[in-house]
Structure 1
Amino acid sequence: MKRWLRQRVDAVYEEVLSREVSGAPTHVAVIQDGNRRYARRKGDDATDGHREGVQTTEQVLEWCQEIGVEELTLYTFSTENFDRPEAENEALFDLLCEKLREFADADRVHDNGVQIRALGEVERLPERVRDAVEYAERRTRSYDQFVLNIALAYGGRSQLLEAVQGVATDVERAGLEPGEITVETIENRLYDRPVRDVDLIIRTGGDERTSNFLPWHANGNEAAVFFCAPYWPEFSKADFLRGIRTYEHREESWRRTRARRAIALLGAVSDPELVEAKSVVERFRDSLPSGEQPDPEELETTESTHADGLDSSGQAAD
């Protein structure tokens, strides 16, 4: 009876959370932590934990597609993981080969237009894993409805270092001017194909750190972060929806901050800046509490006041 009641409560809570979700992040990145600790708690081998974790991975992909997420990145194997016992890694590599090929052949992947890509130093992985990666990428290369990134032999700092070294080489040998270096210059050297900015990072297993995961695309975009206690094999849809809610609250806070800053600047900026500030207020006004929302007539009055003090050339009148 207790188990039935718990399941019923969880189902109701999940339904409540589903109703609260009103907008999905475009790109979710997940640190799937806790597989080995989950297995140890049950008295199993680490590989058993990873295998159960794969089932969660498949569910998360479905949940992302249900709410409209367009890109999902999974932190599957870091460069630091090479230091783990060889037997454990070999078993994990076998599981990766099995699941990459299985997933690349799955009807649901092809029916939903899922493109599978690997991020990281794939060349460091055993040949059988590289072959499985190549197979999955080739089978799904033409799809563009949803992107599934598998971070393998991945280290965010090393990725950035490699990109910077590539830019430095172009400056030295190819005549690239330092002033010509842009955000796109770096991004084009990070990965073979574009990766969207990360909107939300989810980490399971209780640790509250992002572990050098997608620093350019997450930190640069000020991504929301959701830490939760369940180990990856235990991660539920309710946990997932709580993460999405964290993202939505982060977005709401950002909008309120932008609107408040713009209101504060309205009375103390030049004419071109005034137009931009007014635009920001109009876009994000509804995100403010009703008591803080400016009256549309006040905005018009502020703009007219600035206009009256300027001549036709935009200079202050004598």
Structure 2
Amino acid sequence: MKTALLFLLGLGAAFAEPVVINDPALIANFQRKLGKIADKEEFPTADSFAKGLSDISRSIELPSTAADSSPEDPAESVFLISSVYKCGKCDKWHIGGVATAWALTTDGLMVTNHHVFEKAKGAAMGVCDREGNVHIITEVVAQNQENDVAIFKVKAGDLKPLALGTPAAIGSRVHVISHPHKRFFMHTFGDVSRYFRRPGKDDRKASTVMSITADYAKGSSGGPVLDTDGRVVGMVSSTQSIYYESDNGQPKGPLQMVVKNCVPVSAILQTLEAPAREADKAEAQR
């Protein structure tokens, strides 16, 4: 009766029911389905992904199945990513740490942070969408450690990918979808605050980082940073806490600010810049 009245008043679209996330049910579903896949022992483990990252080719060519535009609801393209493990005290599968990933192509290519795979532990590793559909991860196809990008493949053929945008200007509005501390599919909003050069460390080269004001926390790693058209302009990577200098001998004073550091879209595109494309550029310049 209420719905019929809203449509008679022409307000049906304006008062559409929001999507309500049941966090405990979603994580329990993910754990159960991924555990059943792990029982079959047919796919690579999280441990094997972590050990084999450095042997993976850094770049691939952007497939033709990548999107030209993002879906109306970009959350349809965002996933939980995790693995399952056994604690040794029981025979049940347990879900590991949960991060964020997003679809790049319709046929199963997805994106998250390099450090998500670098720190992965356990057996089968997979992704789970908002509706509870679980897809197993079969391969990491490209990686870039200094830019914190990993592109991987899941066993799926009907994903709704996000389109890649152009670099976002300082001050432009952005939107993050991620899973801070198992608060799944949280949307936060803010602006691009700056770009800066991060020095190299050990074997890692220097990289360019984008800072934003949209909020996020642990579990958000790999979350897409979207412009007002829903195109990916970056990806959540890390945070840096700034404390006031302590006057009482304590190592840290009061927390003043948390800086949100992200992978800019240019770094994602760099990981998608196949060696073959470099050859094509060289040929074009002759």
Q: TM-score normalised to the size of structure 1?
A: 0.24
The structure in which a higher percent of residues are helix is 1
The structure that has the greater radius of gyration is 1
Point out the structure with the larger strand share: 2
